[in-house]
A and B are shown apart, each in its own frame.
Chain A
Amino acid sequence: MVHDITGPLAVQSWKNLEETKVWDPDRIVVIFDHFLPPPTEQAAKLQKMMRDFVEEQGIRNFYDIGRGGICHQVMPEKGHVHPRDIIVGADSHTCTYGAFGAFSTGIGSTEMAAVFATGNLWFKVPRTIRVNVTGSFAPSVMAKDLILEVLRKLGVSGANYRGIEFTGQTVKDMSIAERMTLCNMSIEAGAKTGIVAPDSKTEEYLGARTTKSFERLTSDEDSTYERTIEIDASTLSPQVARPHSPDNVAPIEEIPESRIDQAFLGSCTNGRTEDLRIAAEILDGRRVHDHTRLIVTPASQEVYQKCLEEGHLEIFAKSGAIVTNPGCGICIGIHMGVLGPGDVCVSSSNRNFVGRMGSPQAKIFLASPATVAASAIAGRITDPRKMS
């Protein structure tokens, strides 16, 4: 899988290999999401180059503007992910598909050129860290709060060169959307991948989306883990990652009620229907604070349509939020809501590095969709349990 930023470099490198035909056009997926729609002529040119490549190589799995959305949402939605698959994507959040029991990991563009040419790549089987979760979430506490707690415990390099396996009754009880949030942010601890054992929910989700047959997989009874982290979800409060690192996490009770200029609800981490639904329930009948702007970005066309049908987009519009088309632009500081100097943003996305969403003088707090919605109403970082 490549998108409109990493794809052009991959194609450039592949052409340097003096190749004329990719190894297997049916096993390559091209998704436009970072420049959706293109904010500059330069971006439009890159997309044109990718369209030409797709046509010339006969790649049928191509999702242009209006046909897909954020790559990590589109891949499973369109049936390109199955348990036991090995998937490489030229994007660091490719680890998201572990939520379906696939081994998936991010690589660079030049490595992707080698994959385009040969279909081969080398990997070492990583050691695994197990995160075992029991107990039920309190109301307004979500998978995002759990993965932020995991990041606090592991740190940004705590899982470097390792896999993270999420186990336990709480994970079994989670929706596919929540499992995707967990696996998605495994990279924020440096992990090669995150993974969850597939089950009947996985089968139900994929059954409607793929014709390929697939088998479940589970870890062996006698699997060894480098370490196991035990978490009781019932003890968790909403969590917030403070500037400028995703592991700079504290429970919301310890976060000063900072004034926020912008709130962002979306991304490959938390832009799914379930996420927007929770935010809409909190925003229903309320207004976004006068000094705060709320930007909502559904992760895909499918999510957009579903949220339209369920009435969430109407709630957002009435509350004073804007709803954008699907895409990555805001999370990565390209367009659709770039932060200015001094701006403070609470975001449901995955990274709060210096300059990630625009100005290096901006501050980003990472939190759950519920916390983002509650904070947008209050105009300051706010515990969603106070709003329900």
Chain B
Amino acid sequence: MIVEAKAVRFGDNVDTDVILPGKYLGLTEPAELGEHAMEGLSPGFASKFVGGAVIVAGKNFGQGSSREHAAIALKAAGARCVVAESFARIFYRNAINIGLPAMECLGILNQVADGDRVSVDLEQGQIRNLRTGATTSTEPVPLDLLQVLNDGGIIEHLKRKRAHE
């Protein structure tokens, strides 16, 4: 699985209250949630993801609340993948489960500037910065998780598995 898009860059410890503020937790439709993605940083931030984006972030991305709404909002806003130095564990599981690719990569913040076009190869564990030409290597996403992502999330994955049984 390869994802290519512009990078939208964040620092360390981005929390789920910032990704999707509590006042929007009454929403359940992905498109509506997407309009408010990252609104905790500034109103209208979600427009930065339009047309597709790779989120590049520092340590402990997605800390805090277990609200899956946060991962859903990012995906619906246009995020196609999150590459972070590390993830908070509940966010990581949520992202994979809803079909938002997430990959850990130490040192990625030094390699990518906001707005750079990047190509992320989840199977090989490589992030190529198309502006600088630099390639950063990391642990690939494990095969069983790739299968979940290829199927579009855990629900579609389970349905497909059942159909084959």
What's the minimum C-beta distance from A162 to chain B, rounded to whole angstroms?
10
- From B18, B23, B64, B159, A92 is in contact (CB under 8 Å) with B64
- From B17, B40, B86, B93, A108 is in contact (CB under 8 Å) with B93
B158 within 8 A of A: yes
Contact between chains at A157 and B13 (CB < 8 Å)? yes
Contact between chains at B97 and A190 (CB < 8 Å)? no
Contact between chains at B40 and A360 (CB < 8 Å)? yes
Contacts of A16 in B (CB 8 A): 155, 159
Contact between chains at A190 and B60 (CB < 8 Å)? yes
B80 within 8 A of A: no
Contacts of A42 in B (CB 8 A): 26-27
B68 within 8 A of A: yes
Q: Which of A6-14, A289-297, A302-310 contacts B (4 or more CB under 8 A)?
A: A6-14
Contact between chains at A110 and B94 (CB < 8 Å)? yes
Cα–Cα distance between A358 and B88 once the two chains are bound (Å)? 23
B89 within 8 A of A: yes
Q: Is the interface of A mostly helix, strand, loop or mixed?
A: loop
Cα–Cα distance between A360 and B22 once the two chains are bound (Å)? 12
Interfacial residues of chain B within 1-33, with CB under 8 A of chain A in the complex: 13, 15, 17-18, 21-23, 25-28
Contacts of A110 in B (CB 8 A): 68, 94, 97-98, 153-155
Contact between chains at B26 and A108 (CB < 8 Å)? no
Contact between chains at A106 and B155 (CB < 8 Å)? no
A110-B154, A157-B86 known; A333 and B13 CB under 8 Å? no
Chain A residue with Cβ nearest B157:
A114
Contacts of B65 in A (CB 8 A): 91-92, 332, 351
Cα–Cα distance between A157 and B85 once the two chains are bound (Å)? 12
- From B21, B90, B98, B158, A355 is in contact (CB under 8 Å) with B21
Contact between chains at A354 and B93 (CB < 8 Å)? no
Chain B residue with Cβ nearest A18:
B159
A103 within 8 A of B: no
Contact between chains at A5 and B67 (CB < 8 Å)? yes
Chain A residue with Cβ nearest B60:
A157
What's the minimum C-beta distance from A19 to chain B, rounded to whole angstroms?
10
Contact between chains at A114 and B21 (CB < 8 Å)? no
Contact between chains at B97 and A111 (CB < 8 Å)? yes
Chain A residue with Cβ nearest B72:
A9
Contacts of B75 in A (CB 8 A): none
- From A8, A13, A91, A351, B155 is in contact (CB under 8 Å) with A13
Query: Which one of A9, A92, A114, A354 has the greatest number of beta carbons of chain B within 10 Å?
Result: A92
Contacts of A91 in B (CB 8 A): 65-66
- From A9, A106, A157, B28 is in contact (CB under 8 Å) with A9
Chain B residue with Cβ nearest A158:
B60
Contacts of A205 in B (CB 8 A): none
B129 within 8 A of A: no
A134 within 8 A of B: no
- From B71, B88, B94, B159, A157 is in contact (CB under 8 Å) with B88
Seed contacts A111-B154, A334-B25, A354-B40; 4 additional CB < 8 Å A-B pairs: A12-B28, A92-B90, A108-B68, A117-B158
A-B contact pairs, 22 of them (CB 8 A): A5-B25, A5-B26, A6-B66, A6-B67, A13-B155, A16-B159, A90-B68, A106-B66, A110-B94, A110-B98, A110-B153, A113-B155, A160-B88, A161-B89, A190-B88, A245-B13, A333-B17, A333-B23, A334-B23, A353-B18, A355-B17, A355-B21
The 3 closest A-B pairs by CB, nearest first: A108-B94, A157-B60, A42-B26
